[in-house]
């Protein structure tokens, strides 16, 4: 998916919502556990209920990898179900020496055909470069995350700048804003001013609004661009809005509510 296609989808739906499919067998409605593929049945219902209100789905691969081969199969079936006009993100946080990253890129971009993948930049640009060799595919680099542990490394000073600043500046040498996004947590909204200084036109994938307590209004205030430039991820607050037979309807209501709030900024 190109950047312009993503922007068009945002304008069409008046939403920049990304729904996180962090599907946990211990949290989905119990009546689904009797089905042949509970993960897929849950995801299928969630996608059908929310696809009109979001522009992206983020599949956290850990929840699928934890189930072994069957989990990978559920993920592949889920991915195939997502409409082609919706950006698909593999939240896999890959990043390794060149040959290994080549294989990761092949797996997620060629074999599974995701539009984007999250990347860990710790090993440097040569560990990220293979992902940017694919046309119309996105690398989403971890910059300033919403967890408390971000203070351990990301917010440490390197000379006169934070490490997350250095990561953003250095990674921008690898790819243009048509292929490169950054992960920035919603729990640190004022830091978006610093981030926009180095990445003024890049899209930012923003977790932390909803269950983690981040504020949509604050994120928009400090992070929005003329092209919106934001994908607000919500996972638990949408997909687990109910654990009963009405779980899909509850998810739809929550997604619609967030999309309506977002429409005020478009």
Query: Would you name the residues annotated as active-site residues?
Result: 93
Give the DSSP per-residue string, 228-256.
B-EEEEE-HHHHTS-SSTTHHHHHHHHHH
Beta bridge partners of residue 205, listed in sequence order = 183, 231
C-alpha 217/C-alpha 207 separation (Å) is 14
| Distances 49 to 9, 45, 236 between C-alpha atoms, Å | 17, 6, 15
Task: Answer yes or no: are the C-beta atoms of 168 and 123 closer than 8 Å.
Answer: no
Structure tokens given for 46:
């969630």
Find how far residue 69's CA is from the centre of its chain.
Answer: 23
Beta bridge partners of residue 230, listed in sequence order = 204
Longest CA–CA span in the chain (Å) reads 57
Region of 68 (left: φ > 0; alpha: ψ -120 to 50; beta: rest) is: left
């Amino acid at each position: 998916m190109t950047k312009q296609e993503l922007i068009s989808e945002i304008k069409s739906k008046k939403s920049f919502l990304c729904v996180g499919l962090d599907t946990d067998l211990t949290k989905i409605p119990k009546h689904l556990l009797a089905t042949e593929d509970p993960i897929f049945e849950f995801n299928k219902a969630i996608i059908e209920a929310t696809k009109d209100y979001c522009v992206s789905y983020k599949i956290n691969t850990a929840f699928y990898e934890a189930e072994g081969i069957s989990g990978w199969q559920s993920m592949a079936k889920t991915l195939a179900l997502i409409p082609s006009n919706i950006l698909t993100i593999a939240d896999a946080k890959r990043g390794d020496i060149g040959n290994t990253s080549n294989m990761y890129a092949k797996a997620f971009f060629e074999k599974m055909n995701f539009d984007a993948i999250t990347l860990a930049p710790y090993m440097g640009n040569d560990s990220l470069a293979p992902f940017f060799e694919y046309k119309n595919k996105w690398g989403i680099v971890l910059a300033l995350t919403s967890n408390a542990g971000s203070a351990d490394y990301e917010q440490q000073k390197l000379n006169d700048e934070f490490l997350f600043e250095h990561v953003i500046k250095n990674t921008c040498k690898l790819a243009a804003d048509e292929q490169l996004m950054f992960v920035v947590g919603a729990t640190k909204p004022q830091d978006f001013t610093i981030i926009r200084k180095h990445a003024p036109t890049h899209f930012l994938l923003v977790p932390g609004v909803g269950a983690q307590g981040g504020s949509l209004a604050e994120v928009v205030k400090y992070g929005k661009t003329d092209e919106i430039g934001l994908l607000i991820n919500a996972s638990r607050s949408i997909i687990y809005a109910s654990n009963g037979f009405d779980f899909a309807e509850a998810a739809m209501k929550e997604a619609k509510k967030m999309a309506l709030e977002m429409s005020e900024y478009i």
